Amino acid sequence: MVASRSARERKAAVEAGPLAKVKIDLGGEQQFLYKISCTTCTTKGDKPWSTHRQGDDGFMAAMDRWTFHLVEKHPGAEAPCLTYLEAAQQRLHERREGAGD
Ligand SMILES: [Zn+2]
């Protein structure tokens, strides 16, 4: 369990690129909790910008959120996850449609 978690963590860190710090914890019901924080951005209150998502699609959801952060705040930054920007936007669109009514 621990080994697979750190392996996932490394894989996610590679995808997220050099500006990200990736952490995977065990959340409720033994689900993975994916946390991606930005090494350069802070929010109000001086905390690092971060996103967390839990569950089976938590990795993808957190990575999508991070991808949007990169595009918005770090134009020109390079990260493997940016390859999937179009797919991430599509998923966001679908989620919004689904949550619409
Ligand atoms: Zn940032």
The sheet with strand 32-42 has its strands ordered as: 20-26, 32-42, 48-54
Supply the range of the domain harboring residue 58. Answer: 5-99
What's the CA-to-centroid distance between 33 and ligand 1, angstroms? 20
What's the CA-to-centroid distance between 99 and ligand 1, angstroms? 27
* Residues within 5 Å of ion ligand 1, judged at the Cβ atom: 38, 41, 73
Q: CA-to-CA distance for 19 and 85, rounded, in angstroms?
A: 16
Q: How confident is the model at residue 22 (pLDDT cuts 50, 70, 90)?
A: very high
Tens of pLDDT, residue by residue over 63-89, are 999 999 999 999 999 999 999 999 999
DSSP state of 20: E
Q: 79 with 19: CB under 8 angstroms?
A: yes
Number of domains in the chain: 1
What's the CA-to-centroid distance between 48 and ligand 1, angstroms? 8
Burial class (CB in 10 A: 0-12, 13-18, 19+), 5: middle
The predicted pLDDT at position 97 comes to: 87
Type of residue at 57: D
Helices (H), the chain: 2-16, 58-73, 85-99
